Amino acid sequence: GMYINANEHLLRFVDKKSYEVEEGTTLAANVSLPASKIKYISTSRSFIVIIILPQIIDTAEIVINITRNLFSKLYGNIFLNEKILPMEFYRQNSNLGQKTTAAIPEILDLASKLNLSSETFYKHCERIAKSYRLTVEEKGNEIRKQLISEWRKKWQEKLLTKEDVKIIDLIFSEFMDSMCKNPEKIINIMIEHVKKLNSQLHYILPHETREYETFEKKYNKHYVRSVQNKFQEITSLTGFIEELYTELNNFQEDSELKGIRKQILSKMQQLRKEKKIIQFYVPEIGCAEELKDLRETFPLVLIKMIPKGTPLKYWSKTVKKMEKNYSESIYSKIYLALHSLSLLTLDINNSNNEFINKNETIKRLERILKILKYHSTEIKTSQSILGIIADMSEQTVFNTEANKGEPRMMIPLNEFKRAWSYFISFVLTLIYYQDDANSTGLPQGFNPENYTKSILGYVDKQCALGINYFHIVKLLWLIYKNNMNLNSIKFLLFCLENPNTILRFILHQIMRPQSGTLSLERRLEKLLNYEKAWVSAFQNRLDITDNYT
């Protein structure tokens, strides 16, 4: 499904007057209400969604448009930014041709973790060493650490001088030059760092090991991006657990508890579904009766993961090591913390709860939180560095290809984002109000045929005018309408989450500029062919995946 980290983002409903006061500007005269706006907060890496409401809400059309605005921002923007666009396939399109940048804390993280080779940094350390009658050769590492620590503290207190900022910027510029000249060296240094971290946290699970070994040997840039995504997920889940724990005693209403518990159970289910945890290996929970048979036979599954060439006499030891990795993985700790929260939200005000020992559960949760907090700084720092290195390595590849004169088929990413947002808000609103429980409150009821006809009529008009992204909207609708037997939304999500060259080709072809040999009419005619090619390319992969999940 389309899951977003809801607790990290803020959703607000405001009227026109309040919005204009907050923004310090008037809303454009041609903007009809309801309307919406989304803001990205870089410091917390979260979004604020603002729905601007009309003064009077008295028709079904207004309510439906509010719903569409909401779905557009949540599942058109936030979901796409959180779950789809960070994938390397899409990042190659968003980052190419753009200069990589980094904030001062990220540059300082780079300097501390990678021991950056920077002439500017070396000379600055040398001047400091001389002022204390020391030499860089003797005390260089200590001076570097102290200097980075002082810069970090000054940045936090907003006391960095212009000279400090200039030196830090030069350090990053020289690092970028080094990355362009020898990216493999820096990537491999970082891979070694995260492998050491993995030996403590076991975030690369036994069934993923072979795949990551292949990444390291053949696709080290993908290794970097993949681990960064893991760290981002771990950071997000840890933040959710910490925030919920601090607010635990503030929830009073049963409805609040039910809503929170639903979020917790959803995250636990997601971890199980994605095989981030093996349930019977999570310590302190115990093995459910229905899983006992699987628990007994699971070592046979692990035997298949044993590296080729491992002597038979070491198989038992290797299997036990794998079981230990699952048990001690940071994902297991996160799952155990979520499990504890799920118990505490069963009935938070009932001290005589027969099903749980509340004090023991709280102690267990606090113990796990200490472990998660202990590792959180290292994880966040590594996540930041990996992101910068991945961006820069992709930029380096682009520059190399550009210099060789090798044009690359590009996805029109901005157009695709607009198309997905329009399409998914249209379809989710249709699905939502087709449920009688949701449409009974509408003033004039809901007519799905009229709603669909209205939206598609507008899409056709925009396509005829040559507004490019509506051609993608129309293609997505054709896939959705003609493939209901596949569970169309699930199928489209699978395609986005498992992109391939066919997807790149189709989107590129749809958005090619019009020319004498490719008229607008011809492009629209070919949409049905593209729809069939898209479905054919992904159908077999979906069938294979379903057989193994």
Domain boundaries, the chain: 6-90+410-547, 101-181, 219-378
State yes or no: pLDDT of 513 exceeds 70. no
CB 393 within 8 A of CB 224: yes
| pLDDT of res. 352 | 47
CB 104 within 8 A of CB 155: yes
Distance (Å) of CA 532 to CA 72, 152, 459, 475: 26, 55, 20, 10
State yes or no: pLDDT of 108 exceeds 60. yes
State yes or no: pLDDT of 93 exceeds 70. no
State yes or no: pLDDT of 97 exceeds 50. no
Phi then psi for 283, rounded to 5 degrees?
Answer: -70, 150
The whole-angstrom separation of Cα 373 and Cα 361 is 18
Who wins on pLDDT, 368 or 484? 368
| pLDDT of res. 293 | 79
| pLDDT of res. 419 | 94
Which pTM does this prediction carry?
0.58
| pLDDT of res. 402 | 43
| pLDDT of res. 105 | 86
**Closest C-alpha to 507, from 474, 484, 541:** 474
- 280 Cβ contact partners less than 8 Å away, ≥ 6 residues apart: 287, 288, 291, 292, 294, 295, 298
First to last CA, the chain: 15
Place of tokens 């026109």: 16
State yes or no: pLDDT of 444 exceeds 80. yes
Residue 516 banded pLDDT, cuts 50, 70, 90: very low
Q: What sign results for the dihedral spanned by CA atoms 90, 96, 102, 107?
A: positive
Residue 400 banded pLDDT, cuts 50, 70, 90: very low
Collapsing DSSP states into helix, strand and coil, what is residue 405?
Answer: coil
State yes or no: pLDDT of 398 exceeds 50. no
State yes or no: pLDDT of 394 exceeds 70. no
Residue 460 banded pLDDT, cuts 50, 70, 90: very high
What average pLDDT does the structure give for the chain? Answer: 83
State yes or no: pLDDT of 290 exceeds 80. no
| pLDDT of res. 474 | 95
Range 342-358 average pLDDT: 66
Collapsing DSSP states into helix, strand and coil, what is residue 345?
Answer: coil
Amino acid letter, 25: T
- What tokens does 170 get? 């030069």
State yes or no: pLDDT of 96 exceeds 60. no
Percent share of the chain, pLDDT over 90: 32
Range 134-163 average pLDDT: 89
- What tokens does 320 get? 């036990």
Q: Worst-scoring range by mean pLDDT, 113-122, 345-354, 467-476?
A: 345-354
Distance (Å) of CA 119 to CA 170, 171, 319, 514: 9, 8, 49, 50
| pLDDT of res. 410 | 64
